[in-house]
């Protein structure tokens, strides 16, 4: 039974606690730390026998593994301290604020003893994982363009750290867009060039961009687009992705939990859409059919569970994590180059 600790008992911690009940046979929370002690105490009081501390170093004796869910400017120092104490670490994304800090954490990484894994939860989301498999395996031909939209309202007007560029490490792109840059690189391979254009208009609480537009071109020739905003006062797309492939367009609808194949050009000898329907689905019209449906009411909860399962697998079976510190650096380097090019009003060379 792995004794799990949590450093940073804010909104992310709450999500972990409520989602992780199914893993009770493999792990239990034994300690919580937060500089605002009542937050740690609140979580500790919900788990029998768990302790609460104001100083995160005080939980080291009570845990084997630690989830770090802190403001980004604390990831480097706290991560180094946890690794030096020999604790397995699941670090919420992003790894750290600068390349130098990331390289120090990578140099200190002795995975799998102890494991250092990055929390890119969308990589574990069943719907987004399936989309990636379709693209990588060319199930519907070659993907030549992918677009991703994330539209949400995240208000930091009360002075929260996420509005502060120095604590966040940038703006919406660095903090939330990083999930989708990571996915695009995982789906489409190495990027060669790209641009970022962001704005604070509409999100005055953000010191840097609250709305972000990224265009990328990959070695394969494929292009991609990512639009993310924290200023959406309403949304139709919510979180969505489209992949234009040579045998049709895949539409991921996050809220519905579906991937729909659209094909309205003659496919020659391609299978009829009916033959591609997910179990129990019938084509909605002659041009589209649901090819995947993510069952279960709370898909996000499932992704959090699967992420922690992957972390526990690495600890128990002494495996290196797929989403290692080193692997996570690649998408951050892309983001830093995009930011740099934006300042210089040029296209970023990402080769």
Contacts with ligand NAD, residue ranges (CB under 6 A):
7-12, 33-36, 39, 56, 69-72, 74, 92-93, 119, 121, 175
Closest alpha carbon to 34 in 63, 2, 5 = 5
Q: What is the DSSP letter of 277?
A: P
> How far apart, in whole angstroms, are the C-alpha atoms of residue 310 and residue 332?
22
CB of 307 to ligand NAD, least distance (A): 8
> How far apart, in whole angstroms, are the C-alpha atoms of residue 35 and residue 70?
10
Nearest residue (CB) to ligand NAD, 150 versus 260: 150
Measured over the CA atoms of residue 136, residue 139, residue 142 and residue 148, the dihedral's sign is negative
3 state DSSP class of 316: helix
CB of 10 to ligand NAD, least distance (A): 2
User: Cα 24 from chain centroid?
Assistant: 24
CB of 347 to ligand NAD, least distance (A): 28
CB of 226 to ligand NAD, least distance (A): 16
Q: Classify each residue of 24-35 as buried b or exposed e, where b means 16 or more C-beta atoms within 10 Å of its C-beta.
A: eebbbbbbbbbe
Nearest residue (CB) to ligand NAD, 131 versus 222: 131
CB of 150 to ligand NAD, least distance (A): 11
DSSP letter for each residue of 232-249: -SS-SSSEEEEEEETTEE
Nearest residue (CB) to ligand NAD, 59 versus 245: 59
Nearest residue (CB) to ligand NAD, 175 versus 203: 175
Nearest residue (CB) to ligand NAD, 4 versus 273: 4
């Amino acid at each position: 039974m792995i004794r799990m600790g949590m450093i940073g008992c804010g909104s992310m911690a709450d999500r972990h606690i409520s989602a992780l009940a199914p893993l009770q046979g493999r792990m239990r929370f034994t300690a919580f730390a937060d500089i605002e002690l009542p937050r740690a105490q609140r979580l500790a009081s919900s788990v029998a026998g768990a302790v609460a501390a104001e100083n995160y170093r005080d939980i080291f004796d009570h845990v084997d593994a630690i989830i770090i869910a802190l403001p980004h400017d604390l990831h480097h120092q706290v991560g180094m301290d946890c690794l030096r104490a020999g604790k397995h670490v699941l670090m919420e994304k992003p790894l750290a604020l600068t390349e130098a800090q990331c390289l120090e954490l990578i140099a200190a990484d002795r995975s799998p003893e102890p494991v250092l894994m990055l929390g890119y939860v969308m990589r574990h989301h069943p719907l987004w994982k399936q989309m990636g498999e379709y693209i990588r395996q060319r199930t519907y031909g070659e993907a030549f363009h992918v677009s991703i939209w994330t539209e949400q309202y995240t208000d930091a007007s009360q002075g929260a750290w996420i509005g502060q560029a120095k604590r966040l490490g940038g703006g919406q792109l660095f903090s939330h867009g990083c999930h989708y840059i990571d996915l695009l690189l995982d789906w489409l391979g190495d990027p060669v060039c790209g641009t970022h254009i962001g704005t604070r208009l509409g999100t005055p609480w953000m010191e840097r961009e609250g709305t972000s537009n990224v265009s990328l071109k990959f070695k394969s020739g494929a292009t991609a687009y990512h639009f993310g905003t924290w200023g959406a006062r309403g949304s139709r797309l919510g979180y969505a992705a489209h992949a234009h492939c040579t045998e049709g367009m895949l539409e991921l609808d996050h809220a519905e939990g579906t991937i729909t194949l659209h094909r309205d050009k003659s496919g020659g000898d391609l299978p009829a859409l009916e033959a591609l329907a997910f179990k129990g689905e019938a084509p909605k019209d002659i041009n589209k059919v649901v090819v995947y449906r993510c069952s279960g009411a709370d898909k996000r909860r499932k992704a959090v569970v699967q992420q922690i399962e992957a972390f526990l697998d690495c600890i128990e079976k002494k495996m290196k994590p797929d989403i290692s510190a080193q692997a996570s650096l690649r998408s951050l380097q892309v983001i830093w180059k995009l930011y740099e090019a934006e300042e210089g009003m040029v296209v970023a060379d990402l080769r």
